[in-house]
A and B are shown apart, each in its own frame.
Chain A
Amino acid sequence: MSVPTTARRIRYGSATYDLVVEFLYTEAELLDERRHEEWLALLTGDVRYVMPVRVTTAHTLEGSTLPSMAHFDEDRYSLEKRVARFATEHAWAEDPPSRTRRYVTNVRCYEGPGDDELTVKSNLLLFRSRGDLYEHDLLSAVRTDLLRRDGDELRLARRDILIDESVLRTQNLAVFL
């Protein structure tokens, strides 16, 4: 998914821009606080959540993702399973849980593609610390989101996560970006 080339930019400081930023901050807070059920409620029924595998390629960053492999390629069913797993007593990968903090910046907001839709790019830095032995992990990415209006609220209909590492330096993706 990319920003439509003809898309009208929504200016910083406008009411819509504020609504989008508020949505992203709320979402990050829910994930940092591991309120995953509430996070799921922010997603549409037909949500897609994709994080392609990034590779080192010659000359250009164009095509620096594998075409047929992702770290995440999720729909509502698989996201619900992941969330349900955290609630079991046997999800060792996040028990004890990581301490995470999501830093959401550089929010760029566009009209469309649909009448009731917004395309939003944001940078994400995810700080993840587990236990007391190792240094923290940092995951850096740009996210391209498709947000859909639902009355006065926004819902996440699609997220494409372009991760900035070809080899992840975090031992699993038991966290959402």
Chain B
Amino acid sequence: MNLGDVLADVRRGMIPASVYSDPELFELEKRRVFGRAWVHLAHESEIPEPGDYVVRRIVDDSFIVSRDEDGQVRVLLNMCLHRGMQVCRSEIGNASHFRCPYHAWTYKNSGELVGVPFHKDAYGGEDGLRRKGVTLMPAPRVDTYAGLIFASLDEHAQDLADYLGGFRFYLDFYLGQSADGAEVHGPQRFRVKANWKIGAENFAGDTYHTPHTHASVVDIDLFSAPKAAKRKEGALYFAGAGGGTTYKLPTQDFRENLRFIGYPDEMIDVMGSTWDAQHRAMVGDAGFMPSAATALPNLSFVHNWPVVDREGLVVPFISIRQWQPVSATETEVLSWFAVDKNAPQWYKDASYKAYLMCFGSSGMFEQDDVENWTSITQMARGQMAERLNLHSRMGLTRDGEPVTPEIDWPAPGRAYTGFSEHNQRSLLGLWCDLLDDAPDAQVDPAETPAARIATLH
């Protein structure tokens, strides 16, 4: 593999098929994409109380995401400083301390090392092994937006707000429907034999697949909107770290449009007073509602509104999903259900039902997506695939002009209507920038947590 050639091809929208299967490229992605980007780990509502924790990974690194006794969120490498054993081997729970099963070194849920058996006899006390100020290795950078907890392995990563940029605006539609934000439930976890990028690209902008891949859910009257004519009226926006798809709503009225997709008036009232004028204009005057979206590298969202009962009740649902790479050809999907904390209980129940029918491990949309993604990944392993550049130039003429011009867009970023792959190219463009021939994640040897911990001897 010649990385420069691969990136040049990807940037012009002719994607070497092997980017979906090449183990050598995957090793680079680990260091340069997942080693540099801000990667989502959990939502704050998963760990509401002091001591609550979940265990999540960034590729091969396992982190304890805990809320310490002071209520602060900590992201701690799940690896004992002594022999490297995992100090926490359950994936969810509440604990004041984590004790390593091997030699019983013990850490508070803030990461602080507080227990070393026979500290005086074996190490000569603090003189031989400092405990004071020593912690499990924290993730180099941790920050949150809209309750989403992100970490970066790169000490010198730009701030999360700058990294997300204009994409933050769109997160508010999913996770900021009231001032208290969302609660998330899950995740369902399942493994698919597909490269992680395929799902990320799909959610970023692929409205073109909906009419055919998801024809079955239209056939059974679960969902009416994915009809081809309907989908191409939606705008595709890209801003900052990501982009997404929208549906065109039937009116220019904020309330009527939200009613149309099933939001009850009491939620619409709260959205109307929580969102700013720009959000309201996008849903109202412009009449666009976000559906699927992806933020670099592997965090996606979906918002849809199926029919949830025999009486024809339409209720929206929101899902957060993460494409957690296992290898070049395998991905663990983490799929959460999200709903506004202040939504009425009947709505939460109906929205949960809507989610389960559509997305996640048993979702009737998701099942058919994964069928495509596993097949692409398998084909990409072949020798012939090494000679094939996949055509990802939809929306561009041969000389690189947009087939339809950018639209006037009332929100951050740029947007087009009609079918195109502008978003997928933009997302992979950012991926190229991370992979590009630059040094690996900037680590100043004097400043790393590892160096600080090294003072323990």
Interface positions of A (Cβ within 8 A of B): 51, 53, 55-58, 66, 68-75, 77-78, 81-82, 84-85, 88-94, 133-134, 166-174
Taking each of B93, B193, B216, B363, which has the highest tally of chain A beta carbons within 10 Å of its own beta carbon?
A: B216
Q: Are B216 and A77 in contact (CB under 8 A)?
A: no
Q: Is the CB of A167 within 8 A of B332?
A: yes
Once bound together, how far apart are the Cα atoms of A75 and B308, in whole Å?
Answer: 10
Given A91-B368, A168-B190, A172-B367, A66:B91 Cβ within 8 A: no
Q: How far is the CA of A58 from the CA of B94 in the complex (A)?
A: 10
Contact of A78 with B356 in the complex, beta carbons under 8 Å: yes
- Are B356 and A56 interface neighbours, CB within 8 A? no
Q: Please, which residues of chain B bring their CB within 8 A of the CB of A169?
A: 190-191
A77 touches B368 (CB 8 A): no
Count the B residues whose beta carbon is within 8 Å of the partner chain — how many? Answer: 47
Provide the residues of chain A in CB contact with B222, threshold 8 Å: 81, 85
Inter-chain contact B186/A172, CB cutoff 8 Å: no
Alpha-carbon separation in the docked complex, A60 to B408 (Å): 57
Cβ-neighbour of A88 out of B216, B336, B353, B367 (below 8 A): B216
A166's partner among B189, B213, B214, B310 (CB-CB below 8 A) is B189
By a CB distance below 8 angstroms, the chain A residues around B366 are: 172
Contact A53 B186 (CB under 8 A): yes
Other than the known A56-B90, A82-B357, A85-B220, what 11 A-B pairs have Cβ atoms closer than 8 Å? A69-B186, A69-B188, A73-B356, A85-B222, A88-B216, A89-B219, A91-B368, A166-B91, A168-B189, A168-B190, A172-B366
- Asked if B89 and A56 sit within 8 Å, CB to CB, the answer is yes
Across the interface, do A90 and B216 meet the contact criterion of CB distance under 8 Å? yes
Q: Which residues of A contact B251 (CB under 8 A)?
A: none
Q: Contacts A56-B89, A92-B372; is A171 near B378 (CB within 8 Å)?
A: no
Check B430 for interface membership: any CB of A closer than 8 A.
no
Query: What is the CA–CA distance of A173 and B189 in the complex, to the nearest angstrom?
Result: 12
- Residues of A within 8 Å of B90, CB to CB, are 55-58
Q: Residues of A contacting B363 with CB < 8 Å?
A: 172
Quick one: which of B95, B192, B216, B361 contacts A85, CB cutoff 8 A?
Answer: B216
From B193, B336, B364, give the contact of A81 (CB < 8 A): B364
As a 0/1 sequence over residues 343 to 361 of chain B, the CB contacts with chain A under 8 angstroms (1 = contact) are 0000000001100110011
Does more than half of chain B's interface fall in helix, strand or loop, or is it mixed?
Answer: mixed
Contact of A73 among B191, B308, B353, B378 (CB under 8 A): B353
A169 to B189, CA, bound (A): 9
A55 lies within 8 A of B92 (CB):
yes
How far apart are the CA atoms of A77 and B332 in the complex, in Å?
30
CA distance A91 to B218 in the complex (A): 11
Kindly list chain B residues whose C-beta atoms are within 8 Å of the C-beta of A66: 92, 185-186
Chain A: CB-nearest residue to B335: A69
Q: Which B residues are CB-close (under 8 A) to A56?
A: 89-92
Listed residue (B189, B362, B366) with the most chain A CB atoms within 10 angstroms of its CB: B362
Binding site for A on B (CB under 8 A): 89-93, 95, 185-193, 212-217, 219-220, 222, 308-310, 332, 336-337, 352-353, 356-357, 360-364, 366-368, 370-372, 374, 378
Residues of chain A with a CB closer than 8 A to B310's CB: 77
Q: Is there an interface contact between A82 and B364, defined as CB atoms closer than 8 Å?
A: yes
Bound complex: CA of A27 vs CA of B279, how far in Å? 51
Mind listing 26 A-B residue pairs with CB under 8 Å?
Answer: A51-B362, A53-B188, A57-B90, A57-B93, A58-B90, A66-B92, A66-B186, A69-B186, A69-B336, A70-B356, A73-B352, A73-B353, A77-B310, A81-B222, A82-B357, A84-B219, A85-B220, A90-B215, A93-B367, A93-B370, A166-B91, A168-B189, A168-B361, A169-B190, A172-B363, A172-B371
**Contact in complex: A171, B192 (CB < 8 Å):** yes
Chain B: minimal CB distance from A177 (Å):
10
B190 touches A172 (CB 8 A): yes
Q: Is the CB of A58 within 8 A of B367?
A: no
A72: nearest chain-B partner, CB-CB: B362
Report the bound CA distance from A64 to B117 in whole Å.
31
Q: How far is the CA of A100 from the CA of B301 in the complex (A)?
A: 32
Min CB distance A143 to B, Å, is 16
A171–B190 touching, CB < 8 Å:
yes
What is the bound-complex CA distance between A159 and B326, given in angstroms?
33
Residues of A within 8 A of B186 (CB): 53, 66, 69
- Least Cβ distance of A74 to chain B in Å? 8
With a cutoff of 8 Å between Cβ atoms, the chain A residues found around residue B217 in the complex are 85
Please measure, in the bound complex, the distance between the C-alpha atom of A50 and the C-alpha atom of B334, giving whole angstroms. 19
CA distance A84 to B356 in the complex (A): 16
Contact A174 B190 (CB under 8 A): no
A71 and B362 contact, CB distance less than 8 A: yes
A85 to B217, CA, bound (A): 7
In the complex, chain A residues whose CB is within 8 Å of the CB of B212: 90
- Give bound CA distance, A57 to B374, whole Å: 31
Partner of B216, one of A51, A74, A91: A91
CB distance from B326 to the nearest CB of A (A): 10
Bound complex: CA of A95 vs CA of B325, how far in Å? Answer: 26
Are B219 and A92 closer than 8 Å at their CB atoms? no
**Residue from A84, A88, A93, A168 in contact with B215 in the complex, judged by beta carbons closer than 8 Å:** A88
